[in-house]
A and B are shown apart, each in its own frame.
Chain A
Amino acid sequence: MQNSNVIRGLLAVLGMAVSMAQAAEVRTWMSRKGGTLEAELGSLTGDQVTLVTKDGKEQKYKVEDLSLADRQYLVEFGGAEASLITSGAPGLPEKDVHIDTATIKKLPTKMHLGETSDLLVFDLVQSTHFLVASAGKVRGQDTADTAERLWHGMAFQHMNFRKDWGDKRMLILLVDERKIYKSLGEWYVAFLIKEGDPDGAQRAKTVWQKAGSNQIRVPEDTTKEYNLHPGAILFNITEAASYAKSLGPFPTHSISSVLLSKQMSGVSSFGAEGYFAILTGHSYFKEISLAKKTETHLLDVSGTGNDEISSKAGFKDGTSWAKTLRPLVRKGKVSVKLEPMLKWTGAELNPERLVLIYSFAYYMESDSKRLCAFAKMIRRIESSNQIPPADEIAKIFGFETVAAFEADWKKFITDGEFK
């Protein structure tokens, strides 16, 4: 009798021990709908995971309700079976997430850029991870919603994304009035020259009027005042409709591109081969899968003085890309080869090549298992500052050879999944 009491007492201690012991790390767990919980991993049984919050409360969740990044964490750090991440389709977390409209607020203050201009005054809308500054008639709420959805999509797939992002916001500038946009361009060129970046200034000058969006640098005092990341996205708005709804095609493309490039955190001068294909493919994939069509053309800036531009696009508006590429691949008119594709830059692009790049992203990001390999590749790029060569990419996706990777990708294009 006495003994059994002791054992019971001990079991209680051990029970405690287990939940403490698994408590490797407090992290933010996230559901498909965007709900988050700061907790430690308690235990994992079958398809159910127990999370322990900081005040010691246990909460149980179905594994399939957790983000892909959480499931990857369970496999890599919690010793779970790899099948945990391969089951189920990745879906569209950007659409599934619930964005609480109360988190998107208009601020009473205005933001000023440049010291003297009366034109560069912006209305502000703040959301959890973004600050949308607008000038002209456009309003920032829908773009904030779009950006938050795309942010959620990144955090859903990429384990380091939330941690890397930290507590800063990213600035998005919306300008739909010509005079203001022109004045902003003059201010920005002068700012870059002052910062010792004449090449950047020249590039900005060349594309300023033509480009629909630009990644720009935020002056340091502004980043400090609003706790912002140093890189911002600027939209030169000529077609207002895309900004008056959630997940409009062009904003989706541009913001997706900036978020992924931020996650890759730049590549070295000698490790950039493939960067263009990965980023461009991803942005078109997000645009077409979320907005159902594309309205994005790529501008290529070349010439010795960064002063020549040309425009590139795929076939029509994106609704027919898969349909058009499939027979071309079947007939061998477009060959599905990884190594040459990684070498392409904007200058060498034609519609076939652009759509092949799109199919590459579609292939990588449309299946849970491949999506996890894609996330692993992005993590590798983040730490190594280089795009892995073709044979390493094949290896990350579980293939012995580049040819085996290409064969699988080709089959994906020709036999149905690519739509």
Chain B
Amino acid sequence: MILKFSRALALAALFVSTTSAQTVPDKDYRDFKGSNGKVIQAVLLDKTDADAVLLLRDGKRTTIPLERLSTEDQEYVKDWSKDKAVFVQKCRGLAIRQLLELRGYESFEFRLQNNSIFIDGKLNGKPARFLIDTGAGTSLLHAPFATSVGLAVGPMDEKIFGVSGEAPAGWTPVPTIQLGEAVFKDRRILATDLLKDKPPGTKSREDVILGAEFMNKLDAVISYQDRRIFLRPDRSDESDVKAGKGDEGLAFRLFKTKEGKTLRGKVVSKTATSATIELVDGKKSQVFIDSFVKEDAEYAKAWSEAGAFFLQYCQSLTIHELLTLRKYQSFQFERRDNHIFVEGFLNDNKVTYMIDTGADSSLLHISAAKKYGCEVGPLNQEVWGIGGKQAAGVTNIGKIKMGTAVLTNRKVLATDMVRRGEPDNLGYVGLFGADFMRELDTVITYTENRIFLIQR
């Protein structure tokens, strides 16, 4: 199998290098910069230790010594491999979903309420609405809901903090938390009244706030454009497969039957009505395609040997590689406790933002907003969060920049985000919220510690 594969690769390379200029789509051209600063648009076709072979826009080829390219381009040529380039180009259109589902991730289509992400799960065996919140360092339960599903909320003698202050909370033993296949057992989670200060009659949108500790644990990937979140159930407490380190250990897919059974494995062959699945323990199981749930039945129907061969290759791509091919830019994020941060600019000043899917709208810390030249209006608005409400001012941001993505003339709220009695050094200027992330089709991956953005 391996032998056949590498021969195929060599031939594939041959196939591509004879491609004529007309068939190279525009987007495949790269701006190569000469050491003299001159830019040429070309596609890299081949290389040696000393030279690069480039296909120019007019269809002509040229061989150029590496030293005549900019340092960045020299790096690009050095990292480039012909075999990989061919398949990688072919892998480009792959959806994040296709990539991750082959690696044992379970995918959840989420619903957006305003800009907040919700998925359904179970708390203590009862259906619950989970808010996906990268800005919550730890998960939280809505106390009345916790009680309603039979949990014993402990004495409210703990304190939790949010942008708008603090709130009392009580430790609550939770026998099970379930998100699809992922099951966590015997956790202790803080419960609080998520409707603190809200007028009577208000209903909570969420029953549970799923915080960063679980997303971290489950290697979560969140994609606004796909409107999906991907989790690795084998990272939870209950799992039939050993968790591999990194992604390499997993090369299976989850198949669910209408009867509620889950199979972990991959399709190795199929007929018109049934699929043979090689399970993770090596056993084979033949399953009627119609007995799968809709999405999995569709997958099995569309499965082909040639497609599987191809996908197997693409599968080794990281999300970073895949999205870079699609011209996304990305930033390594920094973790502080369970929170994630990226660097960017606020009115041309280099600053740090906290990435917060739980913030429907981005929010600035008031003294940072003023320091970096934002106009902050009177404190006649309100922000809501853990801790109830707090006064805020409408703030005009001239320019927010992250890499090459530029957002101009935005209005956000600014509030005092520092806890009472503590010094004014948050270490970041505010929350980069779901409003901006939706606009920039953001993808967040906890495995690769990266956030991806694209400005369309």
- A residues touching B (Cβ–Cβ < 8 Å)? 6-7, 10-14, 16-18, 20-25, 41, 54-56, 76, 79, 81, 163-164, 166, 195-196, 265-266, 268-271, 379-380, 382-386, 388-389, 391-392, 395
Contact = CB atoms under 8 A, between A and B. Distances in A.
Contact of A383 (B97, B115, B306, B411): B115
Contact of A13 (B115, B310, B408, B434): B310
Q: List the 5 closest pairs (A to B, CB-CB), nearest first.
A: A196-B201, A383-B438, A22-B93, A16-B306, A270-B394
B96 to A, nearest CB: 9
A380 B26 CA distance: 28
A362 to B, nearest CB: 25
B456 A76 contact: yes
25 contacts: A6-B7, A7-B11, A7-B15, A13-B306, A16-B306, A16-B310, A17-B87, A21-B90, A21-B91, A21-B93, A22-B93, A23-B95, A25-B95, A55-B301, A79-B26, A163-B227, A196-B199, A196-B201, A383-B435, A383-B439, A384-B361, A385-B435, A386-B411, A388-B409, A395-B408
Contact of B311 (A6, A10, A20, A382): A20
A288 B434 CA distance: 37
Contacts of A41: 93
Contacts, number: 104
Contacts of A24: 93-95
A380 B112 CA distance: 15
Nearest to A388: B409
B19 to A, nearest CB: 11
Interface in B185-230: 199-202, 226-227
Given A54-B302, A195-B201, A21 B92 contact: yes
Contacts of A379: 439
Interface residues of B, number: 52
A196 B202 contact: yes
Contact of B439 (A16, A20, A380): A380
B275 to A, nearest CB: 14
Contacts of A388: 409
Given A23-B94, A384-B410, A391-B409, A56 B439 contact: no
B338 to A, nearest CB: 25
B8 A266 contact: no
B62 interface: no
A384 B90 contact: no
Contact of A270 (B202, B304, B381): B381
Interface in B28-49: none
A385 B360 contact: yes
Contacts of A392: 408-409
Contacts of B309: 13
Given A11-B15, A195-B201, A20 B307 contact: yes
B238 interface: no
Given A10-B15, A16-B306, 16 more contacts: A6-B7, A13-B306, A13-B310, A17-B90, A21-B90, A21-B91, A24-B95, A54-B302, A76-B456, A79-B25, A382-B438, A383-B434, A383-B436, A383-B439, A384-B410, A386-B410
B90 A385 contact: no
B285 interface: no
B114 interface: yes
A16 B12 CA distance: 13
Given A56-B302, A270-B381, A383-B439, A20 B411 contact: no
B199 A56 contact: no
B201 A10 contact: no
B8 A23 contact: no
Given A21-B92, A384-B435, A54 B307 contact: no
Nearest to A10: B11
A10 B309 CA distance: 12
Contacts of B298: 54
B286 interface: no
B262 interface: no
A96 to B, nearest CB: 28
B98 interface: yes
Contacts of B93: 21-24, 41
A41 B94 CA distance: 11
Interface string B1-24: 000000110011001000000000
A385 B361 contact: yes
Contacts of B7: 6
B11 A6 contact: yes
A189 to B, nearest CB: 16
Contacts of B301: 54-55
A389 B407 CA distance: 13
A268 B384 CA distance: 13
B420 interface: no
Interface in B79-126: 87, 90-95, 97-98, 111-112, 114-115
Given A25-B226, A54-B301, A10 B381 contact: no
Interface in B369-425: 381, 394, 408-411, 413
Interface in B139-192: none
A271 B95 CA distance: 35
Contacts of B360: 385
Q: Which of B25, B115, B306 has the most CB of A within 10 A?
A: B306
B76 to A, nearest CB: 20
Nearest to A266: B114
B94 to A, nearest CB: 6
Nearest to B113: A265
B261 interface: no
A125 to B, nearest CB: 27
A55 B115 CA distance: 34
B27 interface: yes
Nearest to A16: B306
A149 to B, nearest CB: 27
A6 B26 CA distance: 30
A300 B97 CA distance: 49
A55 B302 CA distance: 5
A17 B87 CA distance: 9
A144 to B, nearest CB: 26
A270 B380 CA distance: 10
A385 B114 contact: yes
Given A11-B15, A54-B301, A270-B411, A16 B307 contact: yes
A384 B15 contact: no
A75 B364 CA distance: 34
Interface string B436-456: 101100000000000000001
Contacts of B434: 383
Contact of A265 (B12, B90, B114, B306): B114
